[in-house]
Structure 1
Amino acid sequence: MTTNSVLSAIRVLEVVGERQPVGLSGLARAVGLPKSTVQRCLLTLAEAGWTRVDETSRWRLTYRAFAVGNRAREGTPLREIALPVLHELQLATGETVHLAAPDGRDLVLIERLDTAHRLRAFLPLGHRIPMHASATGQAYLAAGTDADVEEYLAGPLEPSTRWTVTDPGALRSRISEVRSRGWSVNPEGLSEGIAAVGAAVLGADGGPAGALSVSGPTVRMTDEVFDAHGVAAADAAARISRDLGAPAVARVAEPRG
């Protein structure tokens, strides 16, 4: 198997995971490859136990992909170190808590602790989160260097909702606010009807290693709770950062008033 065919198969596998169940034609359009090439990739992946075709001739991942992905998630030091603090954060805020780690221009959701409320935020584990569109991503960008921010802004800024910040200048202002405040506030930028606050987790090198968020429906995540939840998120992120060996991570002050 050539390098190009391996890369094509991996890309097909990723897009099946993102769009499942997906038909051959739609998959070929999504990956930008001929249908014959995609068909060969799918059959090879099916033979290896990674994909399967259902009764409607659409393709899905098998549980082999889930098992391997779950082992990767559970073997991540960030998740293992963060989990006890995330549980405390979820209990303190009463809302859904997410933990995400970087992968290229996106963050990938590696942990989610759900609220007991029936109406709640929901993203599946493994979901790819655009940085500019999310509370976690904006916090992550704010924790990086100006050069990191400019490199990100040079790429596409596609909208996830009508409230997504897609203007580079507006995103620079949002990042500046995050740096000044200590946490991000993202009303409906990633999902309609959902607002979130986020904070970056730093690694031993002092740079961002991931980000966490507190998310909920806008009927509960209002201006009145943003500060309290933001402080809680930033404090949790600081605790996790210290446990990861980040230098001189200060505890966040309580909100005034």
Structure 2
Amino acid sequence: MATESVVSAFRVLEAVAEAQPVGLSELARTVGLPKSTVQRVLLTLQEVGWLRPTETTPTRWQLTYRVVAVVGRAAGGESLRDIAVPVMNELQLATTETIHLAAPDGDSLVLVERLDTSHRLRAFLPLGERIVLHASATGLAYLSARGQGYLDDYLARPLSAPTPDTITDPDRIRTVVNEVRERGYSKNIGGLSLGISSLGAPIVGPSGAVAALSVSGPSSRITEDRFDELGTQVRDAAARISRALRGER
């Protein structure tokens, strides 16, 4: 495949990841390529298992789990997912809520694994979803495990507000991150999705923060009187994964 074609394929793949599910016309505008070129790229990426079309009309495109699997192995060796899932299973059984595993990609996190609750009313994010750091339990946990320079650089940029409850004041976020560092877990009430509360903790490998873990559910069920219990559970689970990544017992 020519270099130009490879570049086009990655541009389309990244655009789908940002806006999925997304249609052909929107993709063509986003990447600045002719529709015919984007269509060929989409069909090629579908053929190799990276993208799949929705069953809606008109057709829209989204990532497959293959992308998530590759992201999970980005650090090399045994994948983060392989190590984390057994611990996540235990955490899900103990809390009976949704468990999320997110790994960094640029200035956000990407959801690489999710274990769902059996409750009908539940938290839901699609695999491959990009997660705003300052608006989420996983993101705040990840920020707490990064250095002060990283945090300062991140807060110097415009901060989006996915919901009216998202904290966007840099000084307030610094205070929250310091609290997470002291407590060992983050708390997020409605910052990413209205009506959803989450507790998160960072996962730290040999070279530093590599991911974050969270337990999430409706705020009507994950109430403040449960925060300490659930926060401690997710903190301990993240610590177990961290030790395994570092080769410690």
| Residue from 41, 66, 75 that aligns with 1:68 | 66
Conserved 8 A contact 1:203-1:246 = no
Flag the 1:151–1:46 CA change in 2: closer, same or farther, 3 A. Answer: same
| Structure 1 residue matching 2:176: 3-state secondary structure | helix
Conserved 8 A contact 2:166-2:191 = yes
Where does structure 2 lack aligned partners over 5 or more consecutive residues? none
Q: Which residue of the partner structure matches residue 241 of structure 1?
A: 242
Q: Which residue of the partner structure matches residue 218 of structure 2?
A: 217
Shift of 1:79: 1.1
Name the amino acid aligned to 2:197: A
Q: TM-score, normalised by structure 2?
A: 0.86
Conserved 8 A contact 2:12-2:31 = no
| Structure 1 residue matching 2:174: 3-state secondary structure | helix
Shift of 1:24: 3.6
1:42 aligns with 2:69: no
Q: Which residue of the partner structure matches residue 19 of structure 2?
A: 19
Shift of 1:130: 1.0
Conserved 8 A contact 2:28-2:38 = no
Give the RMSD, CA atoms, in angstroms.
2.6
Conserved 8 A contact 1:201-1:240 = yes
Conserved 8 A contact 1:139-1:178 = yes
CA distance in 2, matches of 1:17, 1:226: 32
Conserved 8 A contact 2:72-2:80 = no
Q: Which residue of the partner structure matches residue 252 of structure 1?
A: none
CA distance in 1, matches of 2:4, 2:53: 22
Flag the 1:151–1:116 CA change in 2: closer, same or farther, 3 A. Answer: same
CA distance in 1, matches of 2:37, 2:201: 43
Conserved 8 A contact 1:95-1:120 = yes
| Residue from 109, 123, 126 that aligns with 1:124 | 126
Q: 4+ runs of 1 displaced by more than 4 Å?
A: 1-5, 50-55, 73-76
* Identical pairs, percent: 51
Name the amino acid aligned to 2:22: V
Flag the 1:28–1:96 CA change in 2: closer, same or farther, 3 A. Answer: same
CA radius of gyration, larger in: 1
Shift of 1:185: 0.2
Aligned residue pairs, count: 241
